[in-house]
Amino acid sequence: STASRGTFSITLTVTEKLAPSARLLLYTVHPHGEIVADSSSIHSDICFKNKVQLKFSEKQGLPGSRVGLHLEAAANSYCALRAIQSVFLRSGQELSAESVYYHLGGRDLYGYYYNGLNLEDDRLQKCTPSKTIFSDGLYFETVNVSRDGDVYRIFRDMGLKVFTNSVLRKPVLCNEEISDTENYPSHYYDANLKASGESMAIGGGSGFSTISVRKYFPETWIWELVNTDSRGEADVSYTIPDSITEWKASAFCVQDDDGFGISSPVSLTAFQPFFVDLTLPYSVIRGEKFNLVANVFNYLNKCVQISAILAQSSDYEAEILSSGSNKATVCANERKTYIWAVSPQKLGEVKFVITAEAKLNARGTGNSTSPEDKTIYKDTLFQTLLVEPEGIKKELTQSSLVCAKGNKISEQVSLSLPRNLVQGSARAYFSVIGDILGTALRNLDNLLHMPYGCGEQNMALFTPNIYALDYLNKTGQLTEEIRVRATGYLSTGYQKQLSYKHQDGSYSSFRLQGREGSVWLTAFVYKSLEQAKRYIYIDDNVQSQTLIWLASKQKSDGCFENVGSHFNNALKGGEEAEYSLTAYVVASLLEAGHSAAHSVVRSGMNCLETASNSGVHNLYNQALLAYVYGLAGREERHQFFLEQLDRAAVRAGASVYWQRENKPPTERFSDFYSRAPSAEIEMTSYVLLALLNRTKLTPEDLSYISRIVYWLIKQQNPYGGFSSSQDTVVALQALAQYGYLTFSKKNLNTVKVHFMETPSKVFQVNDKNRFLLQQASLPTIPGSYSVEVNGTGCVYLQTTLRYNIHLPKKAAGFSLSVRTANVSCTGNYPPKFDLVLSASYTGNRNVSNMAIIDVKMLSGFVPEDSSLKKLRYKNSVVDRVDIKNNHILFYLQKVSQKEISFSFGVEQSLPVSDIKPVPVHMYDYYETDEYALSEYNTPCSPSSS
């Protein structure tokens, strides 16, 4: 019979719901039960229902002038605005409609996969036997036609499940049956990989026609949240910063009904027709000289006589190197370059003020030098340069919490300096604040002046915000300003932490493909995000996935597998590592709000019971178990471990604390004296938390607890944190609980600091200014000072001493060497060379904890970006590379006794003479007493060593 054929057309309305592509399915059911079908793809423009438009009121504006920004979106949209200098935007890495859809790449439905399971239908039809048939004198052989595809595959390729008694599949020969999963197109897997992969992501007056003074040069200009009104509009205005540059602004919005939308970028050029531009390095070292280059640009439509004057200052010596007179005639669209040889004379920030003038004579030309010439334009530019001392920075603190009860309490402060001090680098400050968490609250975004580049360190920034908000809430001190700031940090930290999340719900510290999730870090993240739900939105689906993953790592005996990296080896508990990990996970689940009856918690407690019965000898594990049993309400076990810990406590004066039995024997010298190791701070903090969990605290308990707090306070750094990341989290949690327990609004103290030769400094602390940081410089170093506290309530006192030392010829725990290679010192090109770093671990463990190598750049030099990219993305011993000001930070997950080496390129960007050597500092992130130091200089400098 002849097959019937025909055509027909249908009309589809393409909306944003079909973007960027859709699949059209056509099918019919044949009278004898067979389904006939086909499908086709429809590709559309990328668009959103929420149409967002952005427009500046002007395309070009003068620096310092006001400009309007008009935003249109769906009514009552919540929009994020930003404007950044275009030179800092990386091509292809900006948020756009295309990139949003790219990250949704796994949404094209395909197959019957769910949570890693292949839910294919069983084949109901029996296979057709393969046999030869003789008919009409001819032999016929059955052939397999299923490889050409069938209706079942069309439905499956669209992710559609079909419930029917019609025929979907072609017959399959019994001897050639094939899997329905064969020939899956690879785009399904690629899309999911892309969706989860890391973004390669970073007026006139005084007789003058026009006078401009420029001193504000941010990289980011606008970063703000705004709401559109009922008409879907918002109008905001801003002052244009002083940079002569192009600004690119964009916005994205969300709205309940219309959803997400994003604008195309719009530009504003900040420009003036006559201006001066300065080029100088980020920093120099005392004793170095550099060329200060000033370019004066004339975009007026005429020739003018220009001059450039660098203001005199006692902070530097400057000699002009430009040929000819300071005055010159510059015509339209031309520039004149002035160069000064500058020698800074002071440490710290040095301010440079340069003024350029444009003049015309009475005939309107720039050729005369008469005093009657008229100044038509004057541009003054302020820029600063950091002048650093030689050597390496050191920072020491002396902290105490002084609680007065109507009496006078005195403390002595003694400042001493090491023998290898860099002269003139010492600075000391005394500060007073009226709350135990006051310093930490002021520095929630920077509790540690250490790198924050991995997932665990990001959580160390994230979690203290929760404890601070809890503390302020409970004590009735939470202000709107602090709430907005802290929740902002939480939201930012949450989004960043999701970039360390694996598809299975686990987390690891570095964003590298193939790296296994860490049970320890995943438990830490899970607990923290559950606690953060009190203040910000946390996706429950993400948390559920994480909990399922954690449960999958629990063995039949209730203990957890030690999967993934735990970067601080001192806290692994040696032979009891499995028990310490299980105790940590169980504590995290209890802190997250799960009850002791929860199946995972209950099984974990069984593991800990086995540990307790067989004997726990590691002090860290004892502290952790005391805390866990306190959380679980197991008072007998709780008390048992507290008694064991009390017998092991170190009592020194007014302090009580705990230290490890097998503490690494590191060298101690005055120039590298540091706080207690991270492990001991964390261990002591867990004991404090366990004590605070007691159902009833006696006066004797509070006295004992106050001695622990006294020791902990003494370990704080100037920013409110401690030695490292995890000890900061646990210690601030403990101090917040102690602060709430002992909080009193009756706080009125006078703090008097007696200087040796100058009048005393007096600070008043009361309930109204308890979060105000009051500070004074200490003028005499070395020297001794006495501090008197008189009144009622507690005050937090801290003395900070900062100085530089010449590099000591010692090391402890690491071996480090630095050399140069592939040196190019050709006169026609800037100097260029490779820096080769070689390191090994020399301590008494098999491997180090996570290590950091901090390489300071020579003055006027920058790293070669392509060489750093190779270290970031190629197979390398380096897990992460960060750039912070003029320092390159290399993260190494661990370092063994086997030497490792890597290199990167360095090139000169600005000429500097008399270049000084700079340090390279390697240290264990959690045991900062284990370190190594080296230095290097440019091989192209005559002064290189």
Q: What is the CATH number of the domain that holds 331?
A: 2.60.40.10
- Global pTM reads 0.77
What length does the chain have? 945
**Which of 35-39, 333-337, 422-426, 856-860 bottoms out in mean pLDDT, i.e. has the lowest?**
35-39
For the chain, helix, strand, coil in percent to 5 are: 25, 35, 40
Give the tens place of pLDDT for each residue, 38-54. 888 877 777 888 999 99
Helix or strand or coil: residue 470?
A: helix
Helix or strand or coil: residue 493?
A: helix
Can you give the CATH number for the domain in which 864 is found? 2.60.40.690
Give pLDDT, residue 748. 79
Do 362 and 318 have their domain in common?
yes
Q: Does an H or E element contain 821, and which?
A: strand 814-824
**Is the pLDDT confidence value at 455 over 60?**
yes
Beta pairing, strands 748-754 & 761-766? antiparallel
Can you give the CATH number for the domain in which 237 is found? 2.20.130.20
Can you give the CATH number for the domain in which 451 is found? 1.50.10.20
Give pLDDT, residue 670. 39
Please provide residue 390's backbone torsions phi and psi, each rounded to the nearest 5 degrees: -70, 170
Instruction: With respect to residue 853, please indicate whether it lies within any of the assigned structural domains.
Output: yes
Q: Does an H or E element contain 154, and which?
A: helix 151-157
Instruction: With respect to residue 785, please indicate whether it lies within any of the assigned structural domains.
Output: no
Give pLDDT, residue 2. 56
Do 379 and 470 have their domain in common?
no
Q: Does an H or E element contain 550, and which?
A: helix 540-552
Q: Rounded to an integer, what distance in angstroms lies between the CA atom of residue 699 and that of residue 129?
A: 89
Q: Rounded to an integer, what distance in angstroms lies between the CA atom of residue 825 and that of residue 368?
A: 45
**Is the pLDDT confidence value at 370 over 70?**
no
Please tell me what DSSP assigns to residue 238.
Answer: E
Amino acid at position 755, single letter: F
Do 222 and 157 have their domain in common?
no
Q: Rounded to an integer, what distance in angstroms lies between the CA atom of residue 331 and that of residue 594?
A: 76
Cβ atoms of residues 536 and 487 within 8 Å: yes
Helix or strand or coil: residue 852?
A: strand
Give the tens place of pLDDT for each residue, 695-736. 888 899 999 999 999 999 999 988 999 988 889 999 999 999
- Classify the C-alpha dihedral 187-191-194-197 as positive or negative: negative
Give pLDDT, residue 714. 92
- Predicted confidence band at 94 (pLDDT cuts at 50, 70, 90)? confident
User: Mean pLDDT across the stretch 628-656?
Assistant: 93
Do 82 and 127 have their domain in common?
no
User: What are 484's two structure tokens?
Assistant: 């907005």
Q: How many angstroms from the chain centroid is the CA of residue 509?
A: 12
Half-sphere exposure of residue 853: CA atoms within 13 angstroms, side-chain side: 33
Give pLDDT, residue 932. 92
Beta pairing, strands 783-805 & 427-433? antiparallel
Do 111 and 258 have their domain in common?
no
Structural domain ending residue among the three candidates 147, 180, 196:
196
Residue 933: which of 451, 425, 426, 391 has the closest Cα?
A: 391
- Predicted confidence band at 800 (pLDDT cuts at 50, 70, 90)? very high
Annotate 269-308 with DSSP letters as a single string.
EE--SEEEEEE--SEEETT-EEEEEEEEEE-SSS-EEEEE
Give the tens place of pLDDT for each residue, 184-216. 333 333 333 233 333 222 233 334 456 777 777
**Is the pLDDT confidence value at 178 over 70?**
no
- Residues of the domain holding 328: 274-388
- Predicted confidence band at 105 (pLDDT cuts at 50, 70, 90)? low
Give the tens place of pLDDT for each residue, 580-589. 999 999 999 9
**Which region, left, alpha or beta, applies to residue 505 given φ > 0 means left and ψ of -120 to 50 means alpha?**
left
Do 148 and 212 have their domain in common?
no
Cβ atoms of residues 691 and 708 within 8 Å: yes
Give the tens place of pLDDT for each residue, 872-920. 777 678 888 999 889 999 999 889 999 999 999 999 999 899 999 999 9
Do 471 and 586 have their domain in common?
yes
Cβ atoms of residues 854 and 913 within 8 Å: no
Burial class (CB in 10 A: 0-12, 13-18, 19+), 888: buried
Q: Is the peptide bond before 185 cis (omega within 30 degrees of 0)?
A: no
Please provide residue 521's backbone torsions phi and psi, each rounded to the nearest 5 degrees: -65, -40
Give pLDDT, residue 177. 46
Give pLDDT, residue 118. 58
Give the tens place of pLDDT for each residue, 253-304. 999 999 999 999 999 999 989 999 998 898 999 999 999 999 999 988 889 9
Cα angle vertex 247, ends 859, 309, to 5°? 50
Cβ atoms of residues 343 and 405 within 8 Å: no
Do 283 and 192 have their domain in common?
no
Instruction: With respect to residue 649, please indicate whether it lies within any of the assigned structural domains.
Output: yes
Do 259 and 213 have their domain in common?
yes
Do 727 and 587 have their domain in common?
yes
Give pLDDT, residue 444. 86
Q: Is the peptide bond before 782 cis (omega within 30 degrees of 0)?
A: yes
Give pLDDT, residue 290. 93
User: Mean pLDDT across the stretch 479-494?
Assistant: 92
Q: What residues pair up with 344 in beta bridges, in sequence order?
A: 316
* Sheet order of strands, 233-239 included: 53-56, 66-72, 233-239
Instruction: Report how far apart, in Å, the C-alpha atoms of 511 and of each of 216, 493, 501, 523 are.
Output: 36, 15, 8, 18
Cα angle vertex 493, ends 492, 494, to 5°? 90
Instruction: Report how far apart, in Å, the C-alpha atoms of 430 and of each of 183, 436, 754, 772, 778 are.
Output: 72, 16, 11, 14, 7
Contacts of 149 (CB under 8 A, 6+ apart): none
User: Mean pLDDT across the stretch 19-45?
Assistant: 81
Give pLDDT, residue 696. 87
Please tell me what DSSP assigns to residue 311.
Answer: P
**Which of 184-193, 461-470, 827-836 bottoms out in mean pLDDT, i.e. has the lowest?**
184-193
User: What are 144's two structure tokens?
Assistant: 């397999």
Instruction: With respect to residue 941, please indicate whether it lies within any of the assigned structural domains.
Output: no
User: Mean pLDDT across the stretch 597-616?
Assistant: 93
Half-sphere exposure of residue 60: CA atoms within 13 angstroms, side-chain side: 4
User: What are 849's two structure tokens?
Assistant: 């904890």
Rounded to a whole number, what is the largest CA-CA distance in the chain? 125
Structural domain ending residue among the three candidates 746, 773, 802:
746
Give pLDDT, residue 321. 87
Cβ atoms of residues 679 and 566 within 8 Å: no
Do 479 and 567 have their domain in common?
yes
Strands (E), 16-154: 21-29, 35-43, 53-56, 60-61, 66-72, 78-85, 113-114, 117-118, 132-135, 138-141
Q: Rounded to an integer, what distance in angstroms lies between the CA atom of residue 279 and that of residue 333?
A: 20
Position of tokens 């940590």?
584
Give the tens place of pLDDT for each residue, 399-425. 999 988 888 888 888 889 998 899 989
**Average pLDDT over the chain, rounded to whole?**
84
Give pLDDT, residue 116. 52
Instruction: With respect to residue 424, please indicate whether it lies within any of the assigned structural domains.
Output: no
**Number of domain units in the chain:** 5
Q: Rounded to an integer, what distance in angstroms lies between the CA atom of residue 819 and that of residue 901?
A: 11
**Is the pLDDT confidence value at 607 over 50?**
yes
Q: Is the peptide bond before 942 cis (omega within 30 degrees of 0)?
A: no
Cβ atoms of residues 522 and 550 within 8 Å: yes
- Predicted confidence band at 493 (pLDDT cuts at 50, 70, 90)? very high
Position of tokens 């929420």?
50
Q: Rounded to an integer, what distance in angstroms lies between the CA atom of residue 930 and that of residue 36?
A: 73
**Is the pLDDT confidence value at 568 over 70?**
no
User: What are 943's two structure tokens?
Assistant: 């002064």
**Is the pLDDT confidence value at 35 over 90?**
no
Residue 375: which of 214, 212, 211, 242 has the closest Cα?
A: 211
Instruction: With respect to residue 430, please indicate whether it lies within any of the assigned structural domains.
Output: no
Q: How many angstroms from the chain centroid is the CA of residue 210?
A: 43
User: Mean pLDDT across the stretch 593-601?
Assistant: 94
Q: How many angstroms from the chain centroid is the CA of residue 213?
A: 35
Do 596 and 725 have their domain in common?
yes
Beta pairing, strands 283-285 & 374-388? parallel
Q: Rounded to an integer, what distance in angstroms lies between the CA atom of residue 78 and that of residue 73?
A: 9
Q: Rounded to an integer, what distance in angstroms lies between the CA atom of residue 608 and that of residue 618?
A: 14
User: Mean pLDDT across the stretch 600-627?
Assistant: 92
Each residue of 395-423: b (16+ CB within 10 Å) or e?
A: ebbbbbbbbbeeeebeeebebebbeebbe
Residue 681: which of 507, 833, 460 has the closest Cα?
A: 460
Q: What are the helix (H) ranges across 592-698?
A: 599-614, 619-631, 635-648, 678-692
User: What are 901's two structure tokens?
Assistant: 């080496």
Helix or strand or coil: residue 335?
A: strand
Instruction: With respect to residue 791, please indicate whether it lies within any of the assigned structural domains.
Output: no
- Classify the C-alpha dihedral 719-775-482-79 as positive or negative: negative
- Predicted confidence band at 945 (pLDDT cuts at 50, 70, 90)? very low
Q: Rounded to an integer, what distance in angstroms lies between the CA atom of residue 596 and that of residue 633?
A: 8
Structural domain ending residue among the three candidates 729, 746, 763:
746
Instruction: With respect to residue 761, please indicate whether it lies within any of the assigned structural domains.
Output: no
Amino acid at position 522, single letter: T
**Which of 12-21, 536-545, 564-573, 656-665 bottoms out in mean pLDDT, i.e. has the lowest?**
564-573
User: What are 354's two structure tokens?
Assistant: 């340069």
Contacts of 669 (CB under 8 A, 6+ apart): 808, 810
Contacts of 605 (CB under 8 A, 6+ apart): 558, 586, 596, 632, 634
